[in-house]
Chain A
Amino acid sequence: MAIAIVVVLLVIGSVIFHFASPWYFTELASNWGMIDATVDITFWVTGIVFILVNLFMAYSIYKYRHKKGQKAEYEPENKKLEIWLTVITAIGVAAMLAPGLFVWGQFVRPPDNSAIVEAVGQQWHWSYRFPGEDGVMGTVNASLITPDNPFGMNPDDPNGQDDILVSNPEVYLPLNQPIRLNLRSKDVLHNFTVPQFRVKMDLVPGMVTFMWFEPTRLGSFDVLCEELCGIAHHAMRGKVTVVERPEFEAWLNAHPTYAETAARAAGNRDIGQGLYQACAACHGFAGEGRKELNAPKLAGQEGWYMARQIRNYKNKLRGVHPDDIYGQQMAAMAGTLVDDQAIANVIAYIETLPDEPAPVTVTGDADRGARTYETCAVCHGESGQGIWALNAPRLAGMSDWYLAVLLAHFRDGVRGAEPGDFYGAQMAQMAKRLSNEAVINDLVAYINTFPVNSPARVSQAQ
């Protein structure tokens, strides 16, 4: 008896939940309104079946519950009824399937006027490639991927020379332009999803997959990875920003072609030495870092990492939070490096500085820290050496007090909270777990145990 009432209440409750709860599709931002329409059709058909079958069941339970002297009917089967039910079900199924297949037919054929864009996935970030003026993508090969050629471009392919490379998880797309998004992965499976666009597709290493859509609404939309791709899967984020065409063109033209990146002059360490004098005041002449001035050690840090941070400071992605006092100072100083060449020069010089391990200033329980570090090790390396492919800087032998400060900053949203600082946001998401200072100190204490392959450390060991 109670079960009949409860079934009715659950049906009513589910329907109310469906219509009254605030949780439903995000506002559409692409041409795929037809997908929403098929979802709606499916909701109506299945909803009606859900209500009718359950109410019939509840009524049967109520009406035919056991009472004294009650006898059940003996009816092995009823062919006519079965046939009717089969036919009605088949019609309902067809009503859902037909529009579904029709819309799928649209999805598998990108329109002829689609612009080709490539999204490249790797653990755990996105980058993009545009075909450039010739409209043809150059060939790529995973075996050609190096820190200097992160897209794995084939240097001998003339089609690839004018390809525009966007080494950033954010991409701009023009409004009302059908996009054929080619998808490629460098390592494992990923999936490119923008919930507002409704469509998604996996990235499969070794092949190029695709999907298409036409952005129909201005705005910035999150890109999520929706195929489990390792421990930072949930932190693999990007952004699609839909803008009017002129703004898009301007954005695109600000990015280098492959030929430009390949021809980019290496940093000049002699010029860099001159530039470095401004840095030396705080970071020390040997880049050894000075805690009393809140300047971390630079010597031995990965060049690509320092270059990105200088650009972040310049582009107001770092050093803008009011609590980040020293970051604000650095942001001001970073402005003195006028362009990418200047940055490259100064980094070329820093790379020549002797890599002495920074002094140990943080103490904690290294054994406990080792447990926490298991997660960090995936990106930063088992011995904190840093891994360029994962955008993870070196930790071993760097200023430990600075690590401790930064971890707290990441956790508290002082760093990594600026929109556009994707790698910072990733670290911020990871640092949320470091609940208190003791946990951070333990972790840093463990990082302090890593060997550093500097001549000084080696000679000390002997």
Chain B
Amino acid sequence: MSLLRKLTEKPWTTTGQLEELPDPYVIAANTKRTALFVFLGVVSSLFFLFVMAQHQREALPDWQPITALPSILGLNTLLLIGASLAMQYAKAAADGGNLAGLKRGFVAAGLLTAAFLVGQVIGWQQMTATGQVIQVNPANAFFFLLTGAHGLHLVGGLYVWARNSVRVLRGFGQDDADQARELRLSVELCTTYWHYLLLIWLVLLGLLLVT
């Protein structure tokens, strides 16, 4: 039933009607998925507003683009794309019951993400080393602000990743379907989150290159 149909239903005419309940596991999985999507909505709002703020700020006469973006950003982007691909690989492996592949992909994704974060910090150091500190001009301020905000979201992701990697490394017995299902769901949610943060990073990077 479409949402529009649901929202135009006359509830006083449907007395007694009951829908079929889905499997409890499906409800549980959808609950977590819903929560993640709602959270991504919040994150989207946050970055949308950061970007809009930069857009507004750019319109003012004193705006000057950053003279030289740190050279390491290209490498960092590759690392984050790698992390996202590794996550996708892990998810595919989990769906296919390939525990070894899952372990490889999941661990690689985390390590690549950690490398990305280290790279971002190096990028900051490159900026400050050349005197491009945060106060110099508003474009610099936004650079530090946006990369910082994005990095913090990845740190949060890594916390979840760390908790899950314990379970991934422990694996699951062939006969424990519940555990396998739960692990698959966790990997799926992590994958969604990683793809999303990659997307945000690409948008931010595009913004940095354009301005």
What is A's interface to B at a CB cutoff of 8 Å? 76-77
Contacts and interface: CB of A to CB of B under 8 A. Distances in A.
Chief secondary structure at chain A's binding surface: loop
Which 3 A-B pairs have CB atoms at the shortest separation, nearest pair first?
A76-B12, A76-B10, A77-B10
Nearest to A74: B12
A204 to B, nearest CB: 12
A317 to B, nearest CB: 41
Nearest to A206: B60
Interface of B: 10, 12
Contacts of A77: 10
Contacts of A76: 10, 12
B132 to A, nearest CB: 23
Nearest to B60: A206
Contacts of B10: 76-77
A77 B10 CA distance: 10
Nearest to A75: B12
3 contacts: A76-B10, A76-B12, A77-B10
B185 to A, nearest CB: 41
Contacts of B12: 76
A76 B14 CA distance: 13
B124 to A, nearest CB: 28
Nearest to A76: B12
A76 B9 CA distance: 12
Nearest to B10: A76
A77 B8 CA distance: 13
A76 B12 CA distance: 7
A83 to B, nearest CB: 16
A76 B13 CA distance: 10
Nearest to A77: B10
A77 B12 CA distance: 10
A172 B10 CA distance: 67
A76 B10 CA distance: 9
A132 B12 CA distance: 75
A421 to B, nearest CB: 40
A142 to B, nearest CB: 12
Nearest to B12: A76
B60 to A, nearest CB: 8
A80 to B, nearest CB: 16
Nearest to B62: A206
A174 B41 CA distance: 57
A75 to B, nearest CB: 10
A4 to B, nearest CB: 29
A255 B149 CA distance: 54
A167 B130 CA distance: 45
A77 B11 CA distance: 11
A76 B11 CA distance: 9
B16 to A, nearest CB: 16
A141 to B, nearest CB: 12
B207 to A, nearest CB: 24
Nearest to B11: A76
A349 to B, nearest CB: 44
Nearest to A207: B60
B14 to A, nearest CB: 12
A356 to B, nearest CB: 43
A14 B12 CA distance: 40
Nearest to B13: A76
